[in-house]
Amino acid sequence: MKSFELIRNLVLLAARLGLGIVLIAHGWQKIDGGIDGTAAGFEAMGVPLPGAAAWFATLVEFGGGIALILGLAVPIVGVLVAANMAGAWAVAHTGVGIFVSDGGFEFVLVIMVAALLLAVSGAGAFSIDRFLAPVVFKNNRPEVPAAA
pLDDT in tens, 39-93: 999 999 999 999 999 999 999 999 999 999 999 999 999 999 999 999 999 998 8
pLDDT on residue 147: 64
Mean pLDDT of 1-24: 94
Residue 117 lies in a domain: yes
Residue 18 lies in a domain: yes
Residue 147 lies in a domain: no
Return d(Cα 48, Cα 107) in angstroms, integer: 22
Which of 26, 9, 135, 28 is CA-nearest to residue 85?
26
- 83-113: buried (b, 16+ CB within 10 Å) or exposed (e) per residue? ebbebbbeebbeeeeeeeeeebbebbbebbe
Give the confidence band of 138 by pLDDT, cuts at 50, 70, 90.
low
Amino acid at the residue 15 = A
Residue 144 lies in a domain: no
pLDDT on residue 142: 46
Task: Provide the CA 34 distance to its chain's centre, in angstroms.
Answer: 22
Backbone angles phi, psi at 141, to 5 degrees: -140, 145
* Number of domains into which the chain is organized: 1
- The whole domain housing 74 covers 3-138
Residue 145 lies in a domain: no
Amino acid at the residue 64 = G
pLDDT on residue 41: 94
Q: Give just the sign of the alpha carbon dihedral 41, 46, 51, 54.
A: negative
Which of 117, 66, 111 is CA-nearest to residue 93?
111
Half-sphere exposure of 99 (CA within 13 A, CB side): 2
